[in-house]
């Protein structure tokens, strides 16, 4: 397992504030543990402020500013949740374009908790089955998606793979699906 993602680079897109820390750090550790390289991308340079629910947690250094990030440099995209993080990202046209570009390129995308808000804004939910934090259910349905209440949902649609999860309690399943799909993409070129 330690080499499953060797040679892969996974983008983690977050806003400057509001990311649920564990939804950033646990998938990050899984990518690293399997030999992949996680890269933190944000709308501004410097650091991002993570949260443990509503309490400030740690800060993390930004590796690449969004305006300098290029989709061809990454094998997959992870969208951590929290409430404020995806709410800010969905109002950022560069962030929305970046997310949509991963689908256009047929690369795997993984989103947890409230992160499907950014997917909705990128207009990539229609016709897909996914899960999220329960309060995002109606938004997904209104955007043309099918919402199901499961710990992790992997939706394969043509060349695209979308991995979604509900909340931090589902991180083990989310991380396993993320690693499996990125490894498959790295070996076959099909997301």
Average pLDDT over the chain, rounded to an integer: 96
**Reported confidence tier of residue 96, pLDDT bands at 50, 70, 90:** very high
Give me the pLDDT at residue 51, please: 95
Residue 133 CB partners (closer than 8 Å, separation 6+): 81, 113, 114, 166, 167
CA 146 to chain centre: 18
Is 114 noted as a catalytic residue in this protein?
Answer: yes
Give me the pLDDT at residue 3, please: 85
Name the token pair of 128. 């897909």
d(CA 112, CA 152): 9
**Residue-wise burial string across 129-159, b where 16 or more C-beta atoms lie within 10 A, e elsewhere:** bbbbbeebbebbeebebebeeeebbbbbeee
Which residue among the candidates 34, 53, 114, 187 is catalytic per the annotation? Answer: 114
d(CA 142, CA 137): 9
Residue 13: pLDDT over 60: yes
Q: For residue range 127-171, list pLDDT tens digits in order.
A: 999 999 999 999 999 999 999 999 999 999 888 999 999 999 999
Query: Position of tokens 């083990």?
Result: 172
Query: Which long-range contacts link 186-189 to residues 24+ away (Cβ below 8 Å)?
Result: 186/5, 186/7, 186/8, 186/75
Give me the pLDDT at residue 62, please: 98
d(CA 10, CA 31): 8
Domains and CATH numbers, the chain: 9-185 (3.40.50.880)
Taking a C-beta distance cutoff of 8 angstroms, is the pair 2, 34 a contact? yes
**Reported confidence tier of residue 191, pLDDT bands at 50, 70, 90:** low
Q: For residue range 51-64, list pLDDT tens digits in order.
A: 998 899 999 999 99
* E strand residue ranges, the chain: 9-14, 17-20, 37-42, 47-52, 55-61, 64-65, 76-79, 109-112, 129-130, 146-147, 152-157, 160-165
Which residue among the candidates 34, 53, 113, 155 is catalytic per the annotation? Answer: 113
Residue 189: pLDDT over 80: no
**Reported confidence tier of residue 69, pLDDT bands at 50, 70, 90:** very high
């Amino acid at each position: 397992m330690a080499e499953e993602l060797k040679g892969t680079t996974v983008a983690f897109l977050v806003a400057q504030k509001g990311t649920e820390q564990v939804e950033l750090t646990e998938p990050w550790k899984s990518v690293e543990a399997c030999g992949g390289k996680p890269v933190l991308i944000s709308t501004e340079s410097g650091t991002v402020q993570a949260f443990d629910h509503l309490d400030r947690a740690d800060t993390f250094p930004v590796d690449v500013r969004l305006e300098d990030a290029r989709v061809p440099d990454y094998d997959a995209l992870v969208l951590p949740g929290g409430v404020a993080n995806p709410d800010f990202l969905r109002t950022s046209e560069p962030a929305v374009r970046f997310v949509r570009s991963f689908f256009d390129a047929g690369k795997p995308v993984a989103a947890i908790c409230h992160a499907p808000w950014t997917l909705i804004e990128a207009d990539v939910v229609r016709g897909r089955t996914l899960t999220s934090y329960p309060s995002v259910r109606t938004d997904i349905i209104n955007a043309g998606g099918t919402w199901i209440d499961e710990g992790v949902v992997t939706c394969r649609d043509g060349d695209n793979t979308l991995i979604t999860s509900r909340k931090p309690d589902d991180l083990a399943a989310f991380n396993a699906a993320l690693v499996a799909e990125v490894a498959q993409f790295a070996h076959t070129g099909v997301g």
